[in-house]
Amino acid sequence: MSETTTTTTAAYGLRARAARLDAADPLAARRDLFALDDGVYLDGNSLGALPVHVPARVQDVLTRQWGELRIRSWDESGWWTAPERIGDRIAPLVGAAAGRIVVGDSTSVNVFKAVVAAARIAGEGRDEILVDATTFPTDGYIAASAARLTGHRIVPVAPADVPSALGPRTAVALLNHVDYRSGRLHDLPGLTAAVHAAGALAVWDLCHSAGALPVGLDEHGVDLAVGCTYKYLNGGPGAPAYLYVAERHQAAFDSPLPGWNSHADPFGMTPGYTPADGSVRGRVGTPDIVSMLTLEAALDVWDGVEVAAVRAKSLALTDFFLECVEAYVPAGRVTSVTPAAHAERGSQVALRCDAAEPVMRRLIERGVVGDLRRPDVLRFGFTPLYVGFADAERAARVLAEVLGEIPSPGPLA
């Protein structure tokens, strides 16, 4: 049997299996809730797709709430309470009880609040901030600025080495739940326990895990956490981020950005600052209402969805995609840097590939949209609410076609 015949037979079998898997998928109907074209969108780990009902909801915000009610909407449309109300809707998706999440500002701003506040809670005698050495660059920049502000020292460390790097001087450990390049899922329960055993606080960045897999903030005793909402939560470009503060820390949470929105009497306009109770302490200034209410509308797609079901489909999708890649792509052209073990995998597949930039460019031209991280990583994000098994099969098949057109510079090391 020729190689072409073998490949064709494999493709037929994988397409048939994809069809069966999609037919049995309990989340398949969710796809109709999103504005999608005939292509394959595998970049939801950078920007989630638009839920189809959101434009009409935003139009109401613009024309009725702002256009007609104007200033009255702070009370009559619930603008004032939106940061906490929307936080309570995100809470079940990350395993938190109501009253522990506030929405607003960017992820970077919330990282700053969380790290400085955690360092203050840790107290004197602890002057080190451990930072994931593989973290998204901004987290490192912000942590370094927080260290300068508080007189702490930054200690970059690989996540696997965190337990051995912890000590009596550690105040805070800032960690990523899922590595943005490789898709590696880090051990949140185990690392949080190790941080606590050293007497320090754990701050987690959930940008690449919230909405894709169970997090369990309350269950695992996380101290503070931050995350964005424009990836798996589909809140739209630049959607506001969120800040989680464990209930046991809320009374001691001393924000480095005390704004009038977090004042106990915001309209008292007093020169002295008295912080509000609870998660409201995480607020700063006037919230971005249009973006915030866009996010609130987008969260409707999660009604009735169990995160456990999302995780099960995520793992099945990424397993199937890797199987299709192995079947279609010539040996040596790509190498997965995403862990094979389910316990160590987020909801993306990252493939090392020489000539990654032209490969991704051609994939996008053919309707398979992923992204890359220079110099040589192709990233494919699998958002279970709208990505199906046929999408995974098609993406792998088109990847093989593109690689067949681009000469190989040699086997990957």
* pLDDT tens profile 290-349: 999 999 999 999 999 999 999 999 999 999 999 999 999 999 999 999 999 999 999 999
| Active site annotation includes 376 | no
* pTM of model > 0.85: yes
89 and 205 both lie in a single domain:
yes
| Active site annotation includes 231 | yes
| Active site annotation includes 267 | no
383 and 262 both lie in a single domain:
no
Which residue, 370, 336, 385, is CA-closest to 213? Answer: 385
Active-site annotation holder among 379, 389, 394, 397 = 379
174 and 323 both lie in a single domain:
no
Active-site annotation holder among 31, 113, 231, 283 = 231
Active-site annotation holder among 43, 205, 223, 371 = 205
273 and 389 both lie in a single domain:
no
> Last residue of some domain: 286, 302, 318?
302
79 and 206 both lie in a single domain:
yes
28 and 69 both lie in a single domain:
no
Residue 46 within a domain: no
Buried b (16+ CB within 10 A) or exposed e, 354-372: bbbeebbebbeeeebbbbb
Q: Please report the pLDDT score of residue 2 as a whole number.
A: 43
Can you give the residue range of the structural domain that contains 23? 3-33+305-405
115 and 21 both lie in a single domain:
no
Q: Please report the pLDDT score of residue 11 as a whole number.
A: 83
Residue 268 within a domain: yes
Which residue, 243, 227, 230, 239, is CA-closest to 290? Answer: 239
CA–CA separation, 65 vs 79, rounded Å? 9
Residue 85 within a domain: yes
Residue 337 within a domain: yes
Q: What parts of the chain have a pLDDT lower than 70? A: 1-7, 409-413
Residue with structure tokens 């397409």? 15
Query: The CATH number of the domain where 375 resides is what?
Result: 3.90.1150.10
| Active site annotation includes 205 | yes
Q: Please report the pLDDT score of residue 12 as a whole number.
A: 83
368 and 285 both lie in a single domain:
no
Instruction: Please give the tally of structural domains in the chain.
Output: 2
Q: Please report the pLDDT score of residue 410 as a whole number.
A: 60
12 and 88 both lie in a single domain:
no
Residue 41 within a domain: no
Q: Please report the pLDDT score of residue 317 as a whole number.
A: 98
CA–CA separation, 48 vs 336, rounded Å? 23
219 and 76 both lie in a single domain:
yes
Active-site annotation holder among 41, 230, 244, 386 = 230
> Last residue of some domain: 241, 276, 302?
302
Give Cα 199 distance to the centre of its chain: 27
**Are the C-beta atoms of 243 and 114 separated by less than 8 Å?**
yes
| Active site annotation includes 277 | no
Q: Please report the pLDDT score of residue 413 as a whole number.
A: 47
218 and 333 both lie in a single domain:
no
Handedness of CA 11, 15, 21, 25 (dihedral sign): positive
CA–CA separation, 159 vs 180, rounded Å? 13
Residue 16 within a domain: yes
Residue 204 within a domain: yes
Q: Please report the pLDDT score of residue 6 as a whole number.
A: 47
280 and 309 both lie in a single domain:
no
> Last residue of some domain: 248, 276, 302?
302
